[in-house]
Amino acid sequence: MTTRREFLATAAAPLVAAPQTAPPKRLAAVVTEYRHNSHADVIVGKYLDGYRQNGQPPRPRSRIVSMYTDQVPKNDMSRAKAKEHNIPIYPTIWETLTLGGADRLAVDGVLFIGEHGNYPYNEKGQHLYPRYKLFLEITDVFRGTGKSVPVYSDKHLSYSWYQAKRMVEISRELKFPMMAGSSIPVAYRPEGVDLEWGAKAKHAVSIFYADPDAYGFHLLEGLQCMVERRQGGETGVAAVQYIEKQAMWDWVAQTPWAEKLLNAALAKGVTRKPGDIRQLGKEDYAFRVWYRDGLEAAAFMTNGIAQDAATAVEVEGRAEPVATLMWLEEGPPFQHFACLVMAIEKMFETGRPPYPVERTLLTSGVLEAVLNSKFEGGKRLETPYLSVRYTAPRKGFFCTEKL
C-alpha cells in the first residue's frame, strides 16, 4: 500500500503548470446542455469562474473561447455565462472549433461533455446521449482541417460498446490525445491511499449509490482505477452478472471475501446509516465482475446503507484490505469536479492524459454488459470482446488535499 507521505511525494496532483511564458490553451466546449449543477456547469464553470466558481483564484490556465450546446433548456445558463465572459456560442460544431466556419482548426483542445439533456432511454434503462454522434462531428472537423487537438470526453464514452471502441480507434487513427471518465478516480482521498503498483490483488469491492446506468459508471470506475494497478496490468473482463436484493445478500453470506471487503469499503465512508446492512439494503443490487486474469470483484450500489464512493482490495500477503474513500462534496462547488478539471488541464498542458483512455473504454463496456445482464434477469454473461489490455501509470492521479 502506498502511504500518504509516499503519495504526496510522487502524486501527479496538484497540477504542475506549464511555463508561464507559454500562452494559455484555447478550448472549445461542446456540451449537450448547460444548466445549474449540470456537468457543463461544474466543469466548464470552473474554467470560467475558477475551481471554486466564485470568480477568484485558483483557476485553470486554459480558457474557453467558443461553445456549442446541443440543447437549450428553459433553465439554460450557457447564454448568460457566454455573454458574461464574452464567449461566442456557435450553431454548429464545425464553427465552434474553427471559430466561425473557416477551414482552419482554431482551438488547442476540446471539452466534450455529453451528460444531461432531454434524450430518450432504451428498454434497458440506458440514457441514449448522442456522445458518439457529437464525437464524430468533432473528429470530422479534425479530418476536414487536417489537424487534431486533445479531447476530453466526460464520463463513459457511449452506451454502446461498439461506439465506445470506435471512438478510441478514431483517436488513434487521427493521433490525438484522448482522455475520458468521471470525477470518482481523481477525487480527494483523505488518507492518500492507492493500491501499490504491481500488487497481487485477489478480490475487490467498490460501493456507490443511485441508479445503475448514470451512477453505475461511477461505481465501476471507482473499482477500475484501483484494480488496474495490479500485477500484470489490465487484461480485460471475462464475464459479468447483475444481482439484486435477497439473491445478492445470499451470495454475500456465502462468499467470505465479498462480506469482508464490503464491510471494509463501508467503514471508509462518512454517510453509513446505523443498523443491519441486510435490512437497510434489502432493495440494493450489485455488479459481479470476473476479470480475465482471475481477479473477481463486486460493485455494490448501497442505496439503503450509505451514499459514499469507496473501494477495498484484498492483496496477497496483507492481513487487511487496502481501502480508500473517494470523497465527494455534496454541494457547490463540488470539489471532486475541480480534481477532474486538474486532470483535464494536465492533458491540455502536456498533451499526455494522466491515465489511459482504455480505463474508460473497458468500464463503458462492462457497464453495458451489466445492464444487458439486468435486462436478461440477472444472467451471467460472457464478455470475450472486453479483452482490453493496458498498463496503469505507476504514479496515480487524484487530489491529495481539499481545495
Question: DSSP states of 332-393 as a string?
Answer: TT-HHHHHHHHHHHHHHHHSS-SS-HHHHHHHHHHHHHHHHHHHTTS--EE-TT----B---
Average pLDDT, stretch 324-343? 97
DSSP state of 190: T
Q: What are phi and psi of 141, to 5 degrees?
A: -65, -40
Binned at pLDDT 50, 70 and 90, residue 7 comes out as very low
Distances (CA, A) of 300 to 137, 156, 204, 270: 36, 19, 11, 16
Torsional sign, CA 335, 336, 341, 342: positive
pTM for this one?
0.94
Q: Which residues, in sequence order, are CB contacts of 319 under 8 Å at separation 6+?
A: none
Average pLDDT, stretch 19-29? 86
Residues 210/306, Cβ–Cβ less than 8 Å: no
Residues 97/105, Cβ–Cβ less than 8 Å: yes
Average pLDDT, stretch 387-399? 96
Average pLDDT, stretch 273-288? 98
CA–CA dist 337, 333 (Å, integer): 8
Query: Which pLDDT score, from 0 to 100, does residue 20 have?
Result: 59
Binned at pLDDT 50, 70 and 90, residue 390 comes out as very high
Per the listing, cell 453470506 goes with: 253
Q: Which of 355, 362, 363, 366 is nearest to 391 (CA)?
A: 355
Binned at pLDDT 50, 70 and 90, residue 12 comes out as very low
Going by DSSP bridges, is the β-strand pair 237-244/381-382 parallel, antiparallel, or unpaired? antiparallel
The yes-or-no verdict on residue 15 having pLDDT over 60 is no
Residues 101/131, Cβ–Cβ less than 8 Å: no
CA–CA dist 350, 45 (Å, integer): 22
CA–CA dist 35, 30 (Å, integer): 14
Helix extents (H) in 212-356:
214-227, 245-253, 256-267, 277-280, 335-350
Going by DSSP bridges, is the β-strand pair 201-208/151-154 parallel, antiparallel, or unpaired? unpaired
Query: Which pLDDT score, from 0 to 100, does residue 102 have?
Result: 86
Binned at pLDDT 50, 70 and 90, residue 403 comes out as confident
The yes-or-no verdict on residue 65 having pLDDT over 90 is yes
The yes-or-no verdict on residue 11 having pLDDT over 90 is no
Query: Which pLDDT score, from 0 to 100, does residue 9 have?
Result: 33
Average pLDDT, stretch 230-250? 98
Query: Which pLDDT score, from 0 to 100, does residue 101 have?
Result: 83
Q: Which of 230, 209, 296, 310 is nearest to 264 (CA)?
A: 310
CA–CA dist 46, 55 (Å, integer): 9
- Give me the sheet containing 285-291, strands edge to edge: 322-325, 310-315, 201-208, 296-301, 285-291, 237-244, 381-382
Which grid coordinates belong to 224?
Answer: 477500475
Q: How far does CA 16 lie from the centroid of its chain?
A: 21
Angle of CA points 131, 134, 137, to nearest 5°: 150
Average pLDDT, stretch 359-386? 98
CA–CA dist 183, 338 (Å, integer): 8
Query: Which pLDDT score, from 0 to 100, does residue 4 have?
Result: 37
Average pLDDT, stretch 318-341? 97
Query: Which pLDDT score, from 0 to 100, does residue 360 have?
Result: 98
Query: Which pLDDT score, from 0 to 100, does residue 16 have?
Result: 39
The yes-or-no verdict on residue 168 having pLDDT over 50 is yes
Q: What percent of the chain has pLDDT over 70?
A: 95
Q: What percent of the chain has pLDDT over 90?
A: 94
Q: What is the mean pLDDT of the chain?
A: 94
Query: Which pLDDT score, from 0 to 100, does residue 22 have?
Result: 87
